[in-house]
Every structure is written in structure tokens, then in C-alpha cells.
Chain A
């Protein structure tokens, strides 16, 4: 018969581990996630995407108000699908990646709009310029995976994306649609 004294530390360890798990940040599965942006050139929708981004997420569906969601996007990973246009995107008139390698998003308030529906208000910084944005997010869960999807519009000119000769919005519209899908592990049940 093993004595309780011997088992106690094991129980303690197990308890600590379990509570750490509960507090641990949720992890982004970057390979299954995507950030797509759609701009309009002379009325033509043109789709691009960022291939590299990361997130620190601390989110409990039961307590959205305490959520902390930070994203960082590697701007040089943007692609429109062809070498010529991708070579253009990194230039100073567009993303200026030599000076501004990363864009970031930091959440402020997170509101619940019903089961699995949230509104994340936060600060988006691109090219050193920051704007407040509101992002609607829908969550769904299968197995251990939580998928967050949403669409929001932002204006490119406040971030000086497409500067100088490209600032004419009859050529490239000011509105850019951003669509995202983030696959997370470690999110508690909705």
C-alpha cells in the first residue's frame, strides 16, 4: 500500500499542471490559418494574402472581457500571386517592408454578441500608423480545434498603403476587404 505522503506531491504536481493548462495561452495553428485581402483595381477585385503571421491569444469564451489578442503580420510575406506584383508590394509606396517589417493588431475591448459571436475592438498598426478598428469574429469548434472567421473593411490611405502616384482611388479603391480564418488550439468550450 503506497502511503498518502508519497502520493501527495504527485497529486500536487498534477493539480498545478492542470491549473497551468487552464491559464495557458491559446495557440495559433498558422498552417491552417489565413489572412486574405481583396483590393479593387479599376473595379477588378484582386486577391492577396499574407503567408506569415503569428498571434498571442489569451481568450476564455466565458470571460471575453478579459481577452488579450495580439497579432503580428510579416508584411514581406504578402503575395498577389505573381513575382512582378509581389516585388512591387514591398516598395516604399506600398508596404515599405525595409522600414516597417511587421504590422500589428492589439485588442482592447472584446464584446460578446451571442454564442460564438464576438466583436473585437483594437488598434491596427501598419507602416507605423495606427487606426482603431472593430472586427467581427465568429467561432466554431470541432474536436480540439477552434476556428475563428471574420471579414472587415479598412481604408488603405490612412496607412499610406499605395502612396504618391497610387493614391488615386479611381485606380485603386480606398476600401480593402480583409478576410481571415484562424485555427486555434486550447480554447475552452463555447
Chain B
């Protein structure tokens, strides 16, 4: 039975990959919007709460991204369907791979830079208010000012790539009418 399932869904991502994909998609979207909103708030209890929640959620994203990467390197994703590959010029296939590699890199860079900024600014990250994380950079205001723009820049870069990724998926699905999105949905009975 399992074998039958595996062969009939060989063009799908595995369930853990699917769950991690959508969970992280949601997490990244919420973190990005919250980050934009909170950055310019005046000092207030709301700002303090949002900053801490943002850091806690960011550490969760980082942790899930580690799991996701481990799963990704130990479980070969399904190849692109032949009908799609035939329609993709070489540059699109390159762009497809480059986007995915860059997104994976940024899944780690964005939260790590945020964590470094927090430490440098003198606010060590304490996950859920109870789990203190080590500072991998020292508390140093000048260093904090240097790091600060890079959390924003890397987050915008990731948002841009996510936008590209979504646009490309929708283009294949809606314009080219290739059944691409089903690959990233949990297995269903047809």
C-alpha cells in the first residue's frame, strides 16, 4: 500500500516538507509585516511586546529552518514535472534554482542578523521570556549601528524573492495551466 502511495505521489513533496513550507511561509509573512509595523513605533509597552514576540518567533523560524534544511538534504524533492521543464528556457531553470538557494540562505541570514543586532544593542534574546540565548556578538552600540540596516535589507531581499517565488508558481499554475501547486499540498484522494 505504501509503495503504491509513494509511486502515485512521487511528484509531490513529502508531508513534513509540505507542513514546514506552509508553516514557515505563514511565519515569515507575519514576521515581515510585524517588523515593518513595529520598527518605527515610539517606546511603549506595545513596542516592547512586539519586539520580544518578533524575536521569539524569529528564533522559532530559525529552528524550523534548520529542521527544514536537514529534511531537504536527506529527502530528495520531486523533480519538476516534465511538461513544465520542457516549457522552461534554460535561464528560467537557472533562476528557479538560484531563487531557491538564495531563499534558503536568507532563511538563516535574516534571523541570525536580527539576533546579532539584538545582542549588540545590549538586549540578549530570551526566548519566551525564559530561555536565554547566548550572545554570539558582544554588546557594543557601534557594532549594533553597523548591523542594524542589514536585518532590514536581508528581510526585504527575502520578501522580494518570496514575491518572485509566488509569482512564478502562480504563473505556471494559472497562465501555463500546469498543475504545480498540488506538489506542495498534502496528499489527497482524487
Contact = CB atoms under 8 A, between A and B. Distances in A.
Interface of A: 41-47, 80-82, 84-85, 88, 165-166, 168, 171
Interface of B: 43-45, 48-49, 52, 121-126, 128-130, 132, 141
A interface secondary structure, majority: mixed
B48 A171 contact: yes
Contact of A82 (B128, B130, B141): B141
Contact of B130 (A43, A46, A85): A43
Contacts of A168: 45
B141 A45 contact: no
A82 B121 contact: yes
Contacts of B45: 165-166, 168, 171
Contact of A44 (B44, B49, B123): B123
B122 A47 contact: yes
A41 B125 CA distance: 11
B79 to A, nearest CB: 46
Contacts of B121: 81-82
Nearest to A87: B43
A42 B49 contact: yes
A82 B139 CA distance: 12
Given A41-B48, A46-B122, A168-B45, 20 more contacts: A42-B48, A42-B52, A42-B126, A42-B129, A43-B128, A44-B52, A44-B123, A44-B126, A44-B129, A81-B121, A81-B122, A82-B121, A82-B122, A82-B141, A85-B43, A88-B43, A165-B45, A166-B45, A171-B45, A171-B48
Q: Is the interface of B mostly helix, strand, loop or mixed?
A: loop
B174 to A, nearest CB: 44
Q: Specify which of A41, A42, A85, A168 lies most central, judged by the most chain B CB atoms within 10 Å of its CB.
A: A42
Contact of B43 (A42, A45, A46, A84): A84
8 contacts: A42-B48, A42-B129, A43-B128, A44-B52, A44-B123, A44-B125, A44-B126, A166-B45
Contacts of B130: 43
Contacts of A88: 43
B123 A46 contact: yes
A47 B141 CA distance: 13
Nearest to A47: B122
Nearest to A44: B126
Contact of B126 (A43, A81, A84): A43
B44 A81 contact: no
B115 to A, nearest CB: 13
Nearest to A162: B45
Nearest to B123: A44
Contacts of A80: 122
A179 B39 CA distance: 32
Contacts of A81: 121-122, 141
A81 to B, nearest CB: 5
Q: Which of A44, A82, A166, A171 has the most CB of B within 10 A?
A: A44
A9 B4 CA distance: 116
Contact of A43 (B43, B44, B49, B129): B129
Nearest to A91: B43
Contacts of A171: 45, 48-49
B43 A44 contact: no
